[in-house]
Amino acid sequence: MRRIGVHERRARLAARQHLGIKAAGIAEATGGLIALHATDPASVYLSAWARVDGLGTEHVDKALYGDRTLVRMLGMRRTMFVVPAELAPVIQAACTDQVAARLRRALIQAIEGAGIAQDAEGWLRDVTASVRAALAQSGSAIAAELVAGEPRLRTRIVVAEGKSYGGEVTLTSRILNLISAEGLIQRGRPRGGWTSTQYEWVPTEPGGKPADEARAELARRWLCTFGPAPVKDLQWWTGWTGAQVKAALRDIDTEEVDLDGQPGIRLSTDDPAEEPGPWVALLPALDPTAMGWQDRDWFLGPHRELLFDRSGNIGPTIWWDGRIVGGWAQRSDGEIVTRLLGDADAEAVETEAGKLQEWLGPRRFVPKFRTPLERELSA
C-alpha cells in the first residue's frame, strides 16, 4: 500500500484547487473545485478572486447571469452552491433529488398538519404548476412578484409552536426552495448588490441523469479535487449513505493508500501534483477548500476554536503553503486586518491583504456565520 504524507496532500491541494497555481478564469476555478459554496453570497466572489488573477466581480456576474455557464443550486448536504452548468445535472441526480424528496415530504406533512388542504400533495402540485406557468410567461420574477400572481404562496403556518424561535410564517420560501430543489426553477440575478440574497427566479428543466451514474461521476470528481482522502470524508461531503458511497466507488477505478497511518483511497490514475512553491491565500468563510474534508487536522492545526463557529462553519482564513496559519476580517471602514496563528511569511500575508483591500474598494460584507476571531478582528 502506497504511503502519501501530508506534504504530498498539500501539494495536490495547492495545484488542483488553484491556490498555488492560479486558474485561467472563473470557469476553470469553479470546475477545479467542483462547486463554490454559496450560502454566503460574498464567498462566491472572494473564493474566485483568490484563484484567478485579474478577476473582477463583473466576470463572476457574467458567468452567473449573462452566459449562465455557472448556476446557483441546492446540492450536497442541502447546502447552496455555485456549480458549472454542465455539472448541475450530475449534482441534481447524485444529491439534490434526495434532498428534494425530504423537503417535499416535510412540506406535505406541514400542509396537512395546518389543515390547509385535505389533498396536500395535489394542492402543492397545483401551486407548483402555477409558479412555473408564471415564470414561463414572464421569464423571471422575484418572490414578491410570484406571490402577487399566486396568493397561495403566502399561506401561513405556525412552526416550532411554543419555542422561543417559533411563530407564524408564510410558505413562500419553503415552496420556492422545494420547486428549485426539484430542478424546475433556478435562482437568477439578485436584486441589489453582490451580497444580496433576494434573487429572481427563472424557469428551467430537470436533467434526468441516472442517480447511480451521477454518484459515480461525482465521487470521481471529488477524488480528483480532494483525494487522496479517507472514504468517510467523501461520505460527509456528499451527504450520502454508506451504501451509496460503496456503490459509487465500485463504479470507478480506485486504490487504497496509507495517509500517515490513516486508511484512504485515491484514483488509480492519480499522479503527484506539481510543486507550486511557497504560496499565500486569504480565503473567505465557507471556502470550498476548507470545507472539502471532514477530517481537517492535516491542514488546520490547533486553530479550530478560533476559526469555526459552533455549527462547524469556518470563517475567513489565511493559508501558507497548504496549511491554515491565521484568520482575517474586513472592518467597517474597509480595512482588511489579519492575525497569524502559525509560522508564515508575514510580509507576503500583508501584501495579499493589501491586494484584497484594493480589490474590494468600497464594497463591504459581513460573513453570514461569525466566528470568534473574525468578530474580534472586525470590531
Sheet holding 280-283, edge to edge: 280-283, 317-320, 323-330, 336-340
Share of the chain above pLDDT 90, in %: 90
pLDDT at 93 over 80: yes
Stretch (H or E) spanning 61: helix 57-61
| pLDDT value of residue 344 | 96
Average pLDDT of the residues in 132-147: 96
Q: Mean pLDDT across the stretch 79-89?
A: 96
CB 146 within 8 A of CB 154: no
Best CA proximity match to 172, nearest among 198, 148, 143: 143
For residues 45 and 26, what is the distance between their CA atoms, to the nearest angstrom? 10
Read off the amino acid at residue 63.
Answer: A
Asked whether the beta carbons of 315 and 42 are under 8 A apart, the reply is no
Residue 137's pLDDT is 95
Is the pLDDT confidence value at 165 over 70?
A: no
pLDDT of residue 167: 80
Query: Residue type at 86?
Result: E
**pLDDT-based confidence at residue 207 (cuts at 50, 70, 90):** confident
**In the block, which residue shows the cell 406571490?**
147
Nearest to 108 by CA among 178, 180, 12, 19: 178
Q: With bands split at pLDDT 50, 70 and 90, how would you rate the model's confidence at 62?
A: very high
Instruction: Please write the tens of the pLDDT for every residue from 235-279.
Output: 999 999 999 999 999 999 999 999 999 999 999 999 888 888 899
Strands 2-3 and 254-259: parallel
- Residue 283 phi, psi dihedral angles, 5° rounding: -105, 145
Flag whether pLDDT at 366 surpasses 90: yes
Rounded CA separation 307/163 (Å): 30
* CA 297 – CA 302 distance, rounded (Å): 8
Taking residues 65-86, report their average pLDDT. Answer: 96
β-partners of residue 338 are: 328
Which amino acid is located at 339 in the chain? R
Report helix, strand or coil for 324.
strand
- In sequence order, the β-bridge partners of residue 141 are 201
Other beta carbons within 10 Å of 355: 14
Q: Are 261 and 304 in contact (CB under 8 A)?
A: no
How many Å from the N-terminal Cα to the C-terminal Cα in the chain? Answer: 50
The predicted model scores a pTM of: 0.94
